[in-house]
Chains A and B, each alone.
Chain A
């Protein structure tokens, strides 16, 4: 990447729930235009780290700077701007259960209070089309959707404002392989069109390999490895060996086929 503006800077972050320490002295920088994947065992605090970047959880120690502003103590207007410049896909979707699919995606657009109804309608249908939700589902309630569909609608809502910064918590969990692939293509093309920066928690090796520029591995309360996948898989750590275990074999296989 030629551009090296930091978008998110985490320094000396420590998280504690009661006496239970989740993160200890974590440093992490995310650069503009990159796709950073966050991997780690279940319960290793990936979601919590994401929530701290979003300002939903305040860390016990350390600071989080996002788009040049301090996450926890910047002004009201600054906070509002930050929120409209970032989109979030929650692990469970977090769709508003009382609103239809259409209204869910329209909500952040309406909150801008500058767009007319026709523009909102067009934008919502565009975003739903992008994530592969057909028009006939637009009037459904979230409770009437399948799990994968909830994910896609939630992604459409996260993309509603064309954010510069996209946070995805397990975006491909619950999607079938074809949809996962569609998702990978979508993120890739969005990055080219909108200069998107993506922070993504994922367990899906295929997605990871396909779109991540760098991978951060969270284990033992720290980031034990950070870098592109080829670098990561050479590191000797029990979690990495287990997680990418098949990878070396697969890479070897691919290398063999190419010869």
Chain B
């Protein structure tokens, strides 16, 4: 006469002693992921404890009363049994099939161990990656130069539509944001300096300061950094998505080279658009500065505008525009380089876009420094 010993967790099992003196563990109810839900760990622990308490050879498992068993439940039992069938096990035919499958299942192959942190190998890897990017970028620019030569001899093949589309996207659509930022920076700069100059009675020098700093430095830098963040990231993401969706491969098999159809128009487009944006940003920033000066210290805008050509040599404007062109082409080149290197997965897409923006902003500042050193004696009046 079997006798109940214990009934556990929402009576999912019954512990019974049989006439022969063996312990019989009868599982009842539903052993599925959804029905166990949050009690999964506790039921597992409870059953594991029962299994470890009794002698494995005399413990009989009976699953025939289980109303529903899914693979999560089967794996749970399987692990409690130590990945093998217990000596005494009663199953229904469909459960039998599930455990047969489990027996045949292979385990995940171990990953070859990698040394995670070794400063020297890390440093070496970084250096190699940097060199890799450098050669990649040089190769891409070389390809672009070759494409330019080709286009000179075949003017009919110039991708004019793409260039014009890029001009619109990177130029015309950037006018709003650059104007807002330029105007505000102009106001801030003017407020800060005009007070100081006023103390020395040197009010009219605000024109020199605003003119020189905005036209030579701030205008080009603001425009370039904004465009690097705005258009650079868009270009990288566009090429990256084209890689993910195999559009790049489709272009290749149609015999349309990426460099000519995708990269070149972007470089030329931004090379034309950025100087124009520089001009626009500088003009708006100057306007903002002069408006602020008029309000703050009463300097007439009319006077300031007439004094501007005398105080700021025209060379500064050309310098700013030159910087804009070089920066524009560099930003596009960097964006395309990173875009073409994106691997077909979303993580790489995000990483590539971030790297592209960070690199192009760094490059913009580097270019500015080079210009500053190379043209240090141009466009600056030294008091004699």
A residues in contact with B347, CB < 8 Å: 97-98
A residues in contact with B94, CB < 8 Å: 192-193
The verdict on A129 contacting B104 (CB below 8 Å), with A85-B34, A115-B40, A161-B33 known, is yes
Does B155 touch A at the CB level, under 8 Å? no
Q: Is the CB of A139 within 8 A of B32?
A: no
Min C-beta distance of A147 to chain B, whole Å: 12
B residues in contact with A74, CB < 8 Å: none
CA distance A96 to B344 in the complex (A): 11
Q: Is the CB of B109 within 8 A of A136?
A: yes
Contact string against A for B residues 283-308, beta-carbon threshold 8 Å, 1 for contact and 0 otherwise: 00000000000000000000000000
Interface segment among B75-83, B174-182, B318-326, B362-370: the answer is: B75-83
CA distance A193 to B98 in the complex (A): 7
Min C-beta distance of A4 to chain B, whole Å: 19
A residues in contact with B345, CB < 8 Å: 97-98, 141-143
- Chain B residue at minimum C-beta to C-beta distance from A143: B344
The B interface is mostly helix, strand or loop, or mixed, namely helix
The A interface is mostly helix, strand or loop, or mixed, namely helix
Q: Is the CB of A127 within 8 A of B343?
A: no
Does A252 touch B at the CB level, under 8 Å? no
Does A181 touch B at the CB level, under 8 Å? no
A residues in contact with B191, CB < 8 Å: none
Does A3 touch B at the CB level, under 8 Å? no
Complex interface residues of chain B between 257 and 304 (CB less than 8 A to chain A): none
Q: Is the CB of B106 within 8 A of A125?
A: yes
CA distance A131 to B79 in the complex (A): 22
What are 21 A-to-B residue pairs whose CB atoms are below 8 Å? A97-B347, A98-B346, A102-B108, A109-B72, A114-B36, A115-B72, A119-B75, A121-B108, A122-B75, A122-B78, A122-B102, A123-B72, A125-B105, A126-B75, A126-B101, A161-B33, A161-B34, A162-B33, A162-B71, A189-B97, A192-B97
Min C-beta distance of B225 to chain A, whole Å: 29
Min C-beta distance of A192 to chain B, whole Å: 6
CA distance A56 to B94 in the complex (A): 34
- Chain A interface extent, by class: 35 or more
Does A187 touch B at the CB level, under 8 Å? no
Does A118 touch B at the CB level, under 8 Å? yes
- Which of B38, B71, B79, B97 contacts A118 (CB under 8 A)? B79
Interface size on B, residues (CB 8 A): 36
Contact string against B for A residues 56-92, beta-carbon threshold 8 Å, 1 for contact and 0 otherwise: 0000000000000000000000000100110000000
Contact string against A for B residues 307-347, beta-carbon threshold 8 Å, 1 for contact and 0 otherwise: 00000000000000000000000000000000000011111
Min C-beta distance of A124 to chain B, whole Å: 7
- Which of A112, A130, A139, A162 contacts B111 (CB under 8 A)? A139
Q: Which residues of B contact A (CB under 8 A)?
A: 32-34, 36-38, 40-41, 44, 68, 70-72, 75-76, 78-79, 94, 97-98, 101-102, 104-109, 111, 244, 343-348
- Which of B37, B75, B104 contacts A123 (CB under 8 A)? B75
Q: Is the CB of B343 within 8 A of A143?
A: yes
B residues in contact with A116, CB < 8 Å: 41, 44
Does A247 touch B at the CB level, under 8 Å? no
CA distance A127 to B106 in the complex (A): 11
B residues in contact with A129, CB < 8 Å: 101, 104-106
**Shortest 7 CB-CB distances between A and B: which pairs?**
A98-B347, A162-B70, A97-B345, A114-B40, A143-B344, A126-B105, A135-B106
Does A233 touch B at the CB level, under 8 Å? no
CA distance A84 to B35 in the complex (A): 11
Q: Is the CB of B101 within 8 A of A96?
A: no
- Which of A96, A126, A192 contacts B71 (CB under 8 A)? A126
CA distance A109 to B76 in the complex (A): 13
Q: Is the CB of A127 within 8 A of B111?
A: no
Q: A125-B106, A126-B101, A135-B107 are in contact. List 13 more A-B contacts (CB 8 A).
A: A97-B345, A109-B72, A114-B38, A116-B41, A116-B44, A119-B79, A121-B108, A126-B71, A126-B75, A135-B108, A139-B111, A192-B94, A194-B70
A residues in contact with B98, CB < 8 Å: 193
Q: Is the CB of A97 within 8 A of B79?
A: no
B residues in contact with A162, CB < 8 Å: 32-33, 70-72
Min C-beta distance of B40 to chain A, whole Å: 4
A residues in contact with B107, CB < 8 Å: 121-122, 125, 135
- Chain A residue at minimum C-beta to C-beta distance from B348: A98
A residues in contact with B344, CB < 8 Å: 97, 143
- Chain A residue at minimum C-beta to C-beta distance from B37: A114
Does A10 touch B at the CB level, under 8 Å? no
CA distance A195 to B94 in the complex (A): 11
Q: Is the CB of A96 within 8 A of B78?
A: no
Q: Is the CB of A119 within 8 A of B72?
A: yes
A residues in contact with B105, CB < 8 Å: 122, 125-126, 129
